[in-house]
Amino acid sequence: MLLERGINKSVYPSFNDLSESFFASTSSAPFFIIDPNRDLIVVSFNAAAQRYFNVMGDVPRQWFQHTWPNAEDKGWRDEFVKEIRQAHTLQMSMPEVPHEHDILFEEICFTSFDHNGQAFIAGMLLNCQHVTYGAADLRAVKGTFELGEFYHSILNNLHESIGFFELNEHSKLRVVWLNERAKRYVAPHTNVAGQLAVNFMPDSIKSSWVELERSLLGACDVVACSMLLGDEFNQQACEIYFHPVNFGSSKKQQFIANWYNVTKYFQREIVETQHKQDFFNLVENSPDMIVRYDALGRRTYVNQTFEHVTGLSREKVVGKTPTEVPSTGRSAEKIQELIFRAINTRQPAIEILNVEVLDAESVIHEVRCLPEFDKHGSVSGALLIARDMTQQELAKQRTQVSEKQFRTLVENSPDYICRYDLDCHLLYANPAMKGLFGTSVERFYGLTPTELNAYLYSCFESYVPRNETNLHRQLQQVIATQTSKECEVSGPTANGQAHVFVSLTPEFDSLGELNSVLVIGRDITELKEYQEQVHYLSKYDPLTGLPNRSSLLSKVSQLIQFPPSRFKLGLLVLGVDHFKTLNDSYGYEHGDGVLCALSKRLQSVVSNTSYLARIAGDEFGIFLSPVMSRESFYKEAQRINKALAKPMLVDGTEIHLSTSIGACLYPDDAKDLQDLVRYADSALFAAKSSQRGSIRFYSHDLTEKALERLELRNSIQSGIRNKQFYVFFQPKINLKTNALEGAEALVRWHHPTRGLVFPDAFIPVAEELGLINEIDMLVLDEVCRCVKVWQSHLAPGSRFAVNLSAMQFTREDLVSTIEGIVQKHQCGTQFLEFEITEGVLMVHCERLANKIKALKELGFTFALDDFGTGYSSLSYLSRYPIDVLKIDRSFVMDMLESQSSQVLVKTIVAMAQNLAMKVVAEGVEEQTQTALLKQYDVDIAQGYLFSRPISIEAFASMYCLPVPPSN
């Protein structure tokens, strides 16, 4: 029975016109159809399948994907469809699929078929085989029924199962009579006459039986079907035939049915058929040409490969001899000769022939002719098998070419290649070995590595070692263990001392027996020299030849591990004062000359018991051991410093150097190596910071300051990552209208332990670390975020200023980065301003003016901050397009008490007005200052009088602006 639940009839045609007999024979078994072109969705699902897989109602179209093992994987589904299409029918063991039935089907068969031009896959669950037999003689059975009860015993003793049925008024088959053999299928029931046949059917086939009853309604011809009859523990495959009959005057449809248990027969037939099919498939799909001949040499069979290779069809060649219809060109006569030789001699005939085939002039084949015998032992014909050996022959030729090429490679290789036998005697050496010996190597065949080494020493050294060489020992180990080895060997050669890296590989014959050892050596003399140079550079300074920092640390570490009990150890770190200025002024070559002269002076001054090293660019370390006291340590440092202060010649010029020295004692100041070096560095830093040319001993406060600075350096980086930097705004007020004219954005750091950190504490460190760029851009991003929200509420001319450090203008991507931030927030640049100091204008980086001009073209204005406190120059104002001058707060604070400050403010304002610049006064804290600034025509003021720097939220609240959404 075929179900089409939930199927779109416009997409899938009805399957009712498929073979009804096929569905009748499988209607008692679970059966479903899936669509390979639409991701294996279910097209049809019979009632038995619904019951078996416990699918009630409409079957989900994705049932197969979600239920079948691995079917949710798209790759598996594609491979599944491909395999079935190639094989057409695929039978496999039933996988573990959820089911609700006592019967366990052992196998499932998938079959690919086409219906109305569309491809489908049918799946049927099997635990028996189906086969159909011919029906019994209907007239004999009918006649036996009509003869009466006596003759029923005859039917009861037949080996066939026979029954008599009729359709009742409800079109249900009613049992009229069953013979004894048929009653076995309804056991343990005995009195079945008059009962409905469906009552004795297993639940698994009841729906199929109902379908059968429908097909019998009005049937005029025999109706055949296959069923699994018997109880659930012993189901048998049966073929049932229903023959329409009419006894007496009954108006009901009556049927004589006979059925046969065909399980064993069908299984045996399937096996035999499969064996035949397997053999046929094997022969038919063999890559060899297979031809069968009769005793007269005529072809009786050719396989597909024969047709493909020769281009001749079976119909054309069967019944003909090789010479009558030549299929292999001029080789046909030779093939016919081989056939008759096999037939006449009753022995196989084998030869290698050049066979002419389709699309090729000649192909090499191995042709085997085998005689075939009938059951009486007479020769009935011959079987020819022709195998294409062309590739093997070509491979043989390629092998010969490869061997030649390999020999050429070996003969011309720069590596040393030789072969030894199992007694460690030299069998072969390539020409490269001549470079070692200075003569032809053939004369050394038969010698061992030890004997060869003795020859080299006798020729190129003054003595000859008697010990067995390392290569000889390694060779013996390879022979003993039959595993590869690697080693390095060194010795004298015709070209001087050589270092060779050697690999030894055991070689085996075709039987797997060790027969020789291949030795390949590569000259690594240059590599060894390079390694020695690298080792030297890892320990010594290439410029001065002194030990480097690594060597000094190693030396100090050794002495600290075993310090003298009565004495101390001291470390001096010397640094050349203003060495960078010297390099910038005279060039790096002159600087290198100064360092070399200084190192020579130090070597002449430092005692032999001390250890001198160059530890950094312009820094030298001197480790003193032993040190009697801190006073003697200080005197030694003074002595060295005075010696270095004397003039020295560099490139013919007399120069004077100043050096600062940091000193640290072990164990007084430091307890371990790391502290000793670190504290000496801190002392040198303090010496350079306080007084150049001085000697500074380590003290604990130096560590605290260094640690504080280091902690601040580390905290800034984590502060940026953790978004601990915030923007505060200090408003700028129009002195004429008292209206808001923007604000200056100031950055504050909410440190997790220090609290609020002001810029004076962290900006210099951020500039030193190169992190000021990130902080500036962080501030700009926050300002743009706010301006985006506020721009519709701001008065024309309002500007929110962001400070840019001098380091920003050394960036090549400054303009593009700023432009990207503005575009990100879609805010108007007419509300944005950059504040720079006079120090920025002094940075002579390339294209400074171009970068300012590019930002001006984007709509930004520029304000010059702290004007009058630095290197104020009118040339800067004329060279760069500055829009605003900001008067430093120091002038504003002094105006009330200093007449000169008032004059300076007036002058700055007048100059700005003449240059069409606005003026902003910083640090306004009193009304009297405001009055003076108004009198001097100052445009804008900012300071504590109006507001301290406040958070974004407080600023928005103060000036009735919307609070930007949190970032």
- CA atoms of 906 and 889, how far apart (whole Å): 14
Is 80 in contact with 73 (CB distance < 8 Å)?
no
Picking from 527, 500, 512, 510, the residue whose alpha carbon sits closest to that of residue 418 is 500
Average pLDDT of the residues in 72-80: 91
SS3 252: coil
Round to whole Å and give the CA distance between 230 and 202.
Answer: 7
Provide the residue type at 229 as one letter. Answer: L
| CA 301 to chain CA mean position, Å | 55
What are the structure tokens assigned to 321, written together?
């001899």
Dist CA 595 CA 591 (whole Å): 6
| DSSP-assigned letter for residue 547 | B
What H or E segment, with its residue span, contains residue 269? Answer: helix 263-284
> Residue 327 — very low, low, confident or very high, per pLDDT cuts 50/70/90?
low
- Taking 60 as the threshold, does the pLDDT of residue 25 lie above it? no
Summarised one tens digit per residue, pLDDT across range 550-571 is: 888 888 888 777 766 677 889 9
**The predicted structure's pLDDT at residue 14:** 41
Find the helix packing angle between 588-605 and 630-645, rounded to 10°: 130
Neighbour tally for 600: CB within 10 Å: 14
Could you give the CA distance from residue 567 to residue 560 in angstroms, rounded to a whole number?
A: 12
Confidence band, pLDDT 50/70/90 cuts, at residue 874: low
pLDDT at 135: 33
Per-state percent for the chain, helix, strand, coil, to nearest 5: 40, 25, 35
Look at residue 415 and give its three-state secondary structure.
coil
Distance CA 917, CA 20 (A): 100
Task: Give the DSSP letter string of 622-687.
Answer: EEEEEE--HHHHHHHHHHHHHHHHS-EEETTEEE---EEEEEEEETTT-SSHHHHHHHHHHHHHHH
Asked if 77 and 71 touch (Cβ cutoff 8 Å), the reply is yes
Q: What does the pLDDT read at residue 952?
A: 93
**Average pLDDT for residues 202-207, to the nearest whole number?**
84
Task: From residue 355, give the alpha-carbon distance in Å to each of 289, 382, 716, 939.
Answer: 12, 19, 85, 107
Q: What is the pLDDT of residues 602-657, one digit of tens each?
A: 999 998 888 999 988 889 999 988 888 888 888 998 999 899 889 888 888 888 88
pLDDT in tens, 401-435: 877 887 888 888 888 899 999 999 999 988 888 87
Question: Is pLDDT at 361 greater than 80 in this prediction?
Answer: no
Residue with tokens 């009195």: 191
**17 has a pLDDT exceeding 60:** no
pLDDT by residue (tens digit) across 29-48? Answer: 677 889 999 999 998 888 77
Instruction: Say yes or no to pLDDT of 28 above 60.
Output: no
Q: Which pLDDT belongs to residue 249?
A: 66
- In Å, what is the CA distance from 468 to each residue of 412, 418, 453, 461, 893? 30, 19, 9, 17, 95
Question: Other CB atoms closer than 10 Å to residue 297's CB: what's the count?
Answer: 19
pLDDT at 147 over 60: no
Q: Is the separation of the CB atoms in 954 and 933 below 8 Å?
A: no
Query: Which residues make Cβ contacts (< 8 Å) with residue 534, sequence separation at least 6?
Result: none
For residues 475 and 453, give the distance between their C-alpha atoms in angstroms, rounded to a whole number: 14
Nearest alpha carbon to residue 830 among 853, 798, 868, 793:
798
Q: Does pLDDT of 775 surpass 80? A: yes
Under 8 Å between Cβ of 141 and 155: yes
Contact status, residue 414 vs residue 498, Cβ threshold 8 Å: no
pLDDT for 301 equals 93
Taking alpha carbons only, the member of 785, 781, 801, 786 closest to residue 741 is 801
By the 8 A CB rule, do 479 and 514 touch? yes
Give the model confidence (pLDDT) of 667-681 as tens digits.
888 888 888 888 888
